Amino acid sequence: MTGGAGGAPAEFAQVLADGRALRIEFRWIAPERTARPLVVFLHEGLGSVAMWRDFPARLCDALDFRGLVYSRPGYGRSTPREPDERWPVDFMHRQARAVLPALFAALDIDADADPPWLFGHSDGGSIALLYASRFPRALCGAIVLAPHIRVEVISIASIEAALEAYRSTDLRSRLTRFHNDVDSAFLGWNDIWLDPAFAAWNIEAELAAIRCPVLALQGLDDQYGTLEQIRGIARKVPHTRLVEIARCAHSPHRDQPDRVIDEARQFVAQAAANGPAQPSRL
């Protein structure tokens, strides 16, 4: 596969994470910028390498960064979910604390010696926050778009609507362009979010461990969460910069890409000027 996120052709890494051998699809963006910082892109609950389209390349060009885009297990061309496998309630914790570090190890990324940036959307934003809370010194900063820090009624209603669309419209056929096993991707995400046990999922207490700079962006028309999702981050991480975007739904990088790139450029420049973030609490 050569289309999608731009940059070099897709490759595959073999990793051992969470007790499983996994094949993970990934793509480098501008790998020739060997001396420049690395930004790692974490996709949404239905995303993949290909679904990012050209946004990672555009952002990396604007920042003069190199990038890494990958499909989490269950998505894209990565190892699919087993037909009878249901994701656990802590699936995002496992992605942040087992799978992502294992991928870094497989690709010889030493996050302790050369901390990357994370850029996460939706579930990927939550995973970025969870990584930042577990590995506070192994990250330059986190940019999160429409992340989730707890489950809201609006989230469940929209995910129920997505299930109906998957069953009754062409949504399933449209998603086949982005996933080898579209049922693996859609039902893995949909089943856990609609599981009654997941209603209590909440990562607010864990956010207090975050030390790196955080930029949190959300659209005013987000159909999957209220602005309390990013405002709640700022209450726990006072050095967070919040951006609320008009005429924007759940995917700011698609609805308002120029605004997102501009905000990211300013944020990275300010973080570089300030130097390493200082702990705000012990």
Torsion of CA 250, 235, 91, 123, to 10 degrees: 10
| Count of alpha carbons within 13 angstroms of residue 205, beta-carbon side | 2
Statement: residue 19 has pLDDT above 90: no
User: How large a percentage of the chain has pLDDT more than 70?
Assistant: 95
- Domain ranges across the chain: 11-274
Statement: residue 278 has pLDDT above 70: no
pLDDT tens figures, 26-60: 999 999 999 999 999 999 999 999 999 999 999 99
* Burial category of 112 from C-beta neighbours within 10 Å (exposed 0-12, middle 13-18, buried 19 and up): exposed
Per-residue confidence (pLDDT) for residue 113, from 0 to 100: 96
Torsion of CA 82, 201, 218, 277, to 10 degrees: -100
Q: What is the pTM of this model?
A: 0.95
Residue 202's CB: how many other CB atoms inside 10 A?
A: 12
Contact 249, 223 (CB under 8 A): yes
Q: pLDDT averaged over the chain?
A: 94
> How far is Cα 277 from Cα 76, in angstroms, rounded to an integer?
35
- If we measure between CA atoms, which residue out of 151, 266, 143 comes closest to residue 204? 151
- If we measure between CA atoms, which residue out of 64, 43, 189 comes closest to residue 128? 43
| Candidates 3.40.50.720, 3.40.50.1820, 3.60.15.10, 3.40.50.150; CATH matching 11-274 | 3.40.50.1820
- 9: confidence class by pLDDT, cuts 50, 70, 90: confident
Beta-bridge mates of residue 215: 143, 241
Per-residue confidence (pLDDT) for residue 104, from 0 to 100: 98
pLDDT tens figures, 203-225: 999 999 999 999 999 999 999 99
Per-residue confidence (pLDDT) for residue 3, from 0 to 100: 45
Statement: residue 282 has pLDDT above 70: no
Per-residue confidence (pLDDT) for residue 187, from 0 to 100: 97
Per-residue confidence (pLDDT) for residue 177, from 0 to 100: 96
Between vectors from CA 236 to CA 232 and to CA 241, what angle results, nearest 5°? 70
Statement: residue 87 has pLDDT above 90: yes
Per-residue confidence (pLDDT) for residue 279, from 0 to 100: 35
pLDDT tens figures, 102-114: 999 999 999 999 9
Statement: residue 2 has pLDDT above 50: no
Average pLDDT over residues 69-79: 98
Average pLDDT over residues 59-78: 98
Average pLDDT over residues 116-124: 98
Statement: residue 281 has pLDDT above 50: no
Average pLDDT over residues 112-135: 98
- 8: confidence class by pLDDT, cuts 50, 70, 90: confident
Statement: residue 63 has pLDDT above 70: yes
pLDDT tens figures, 141-161: 999 999 999 999 999 999 999
pLDDT tens figures, 160-186: 999 999 999 999 999 999 999 999 999
Per-residue confidence (pLDDT) for residue 274, from 0 to 100: 85
